[in-house]
Structure 1
Amino acid sequence: MGNKDIGLTHIAFSVKDLDASLAFYEKFADMKVIHQRGERGTDARPVAWISDMTRNFAIVLVENPDSTDTKLGPFGHLGVACKSKNEMDAKLALARADGVLRKEPQDSGPPVGYWAFLDDPDGNTLELSFGQEMGYLIETSE
Structure 2
Amino acid sequence: MTDIGLTHIALPVADIERSIAFYRKYAGMQVVHQRHDQQEGVPVIWLSDLTRPFVIVLIEAQVVNPILSPFAHLGVGCRSREEMNSLCEQARQENCLIKEPQDSGYPIGYWAFLCDPDGHTLELSYGQEIGLNVEKSLSDQL
Structure 1 segments (4+ residues) deviating >4 Å:
none
**Deviation of 1:44 (Å):** 2.4
Partner of 1:18: 16
Task: State the AA in 1 paired with 2:110.
Answer: Y
Given candidates 71, 84, 87, the residue that maps to 2:83 is 87
What is the distance in 1 between the residues matched to 2:124 and 2:47? 17
Partner of 2:53: 56
Partner of 1:131: 127
What is the aligned-residue identity percentage? 55
**Deviation of 1:104 (Å):** 0.2
What is the distance in 2 between the residues matched to 1:76 and 1:128? 13
Given candidates 87, 101, 104, the residue that maps to 2:100 is 104
Q: Is residue 47 of structure 1 aligned with residue 44 of structure 2? A: yes
What is the distance in 2 between the residues matched to 1:51 and 1:64? 21
**Deviation of 1:66 (Å):** 2.5
What is the distance in 2 between the residues matched to 1:74 and 1:92? 18
TM-score for the superposition, normalised by structure 2:
0.91
CA RMSD of aligned residues (A): 1.5
Is the 8 Å Cα contact of residues 33 and 50 (structure 1) preserved in structure 2?
yes
Q: Give the gaps of 5 or more residues in structure 1.
A: none
Partner of 1:30: 28
Task: State the AA in 1 paired with 2:134.
Answer: I
Q: Is residue 74 of structure 1 aligned with residue 65 of structure 2? A: no
**Deviation of 1:95 (Å):** 0.2
TM-score for the superposition, normalised by structure 1:
0.91
What is the distance in 2 between the residues matched to 1:70 and 1:55? 25
Partner of 1:6: 4
Q: Give the gaps of 5 or more residues in structure 2.
A: none
**Deviation of 1:115 (Å):** 0.2
Is the 8 Å Cα contact of residues 79 and 129 (structure 1) preserved in structure 2?
yes
- Provide, for residues 56-115 of structure 1, a one-character-per-residue CA deviation record: whole Å limited to 9, x for no partner: 000000001234x44211000000000111111110010001000000010011111000
What is the distance in 1 between the residues matched to 2:4 and 2:40? 30
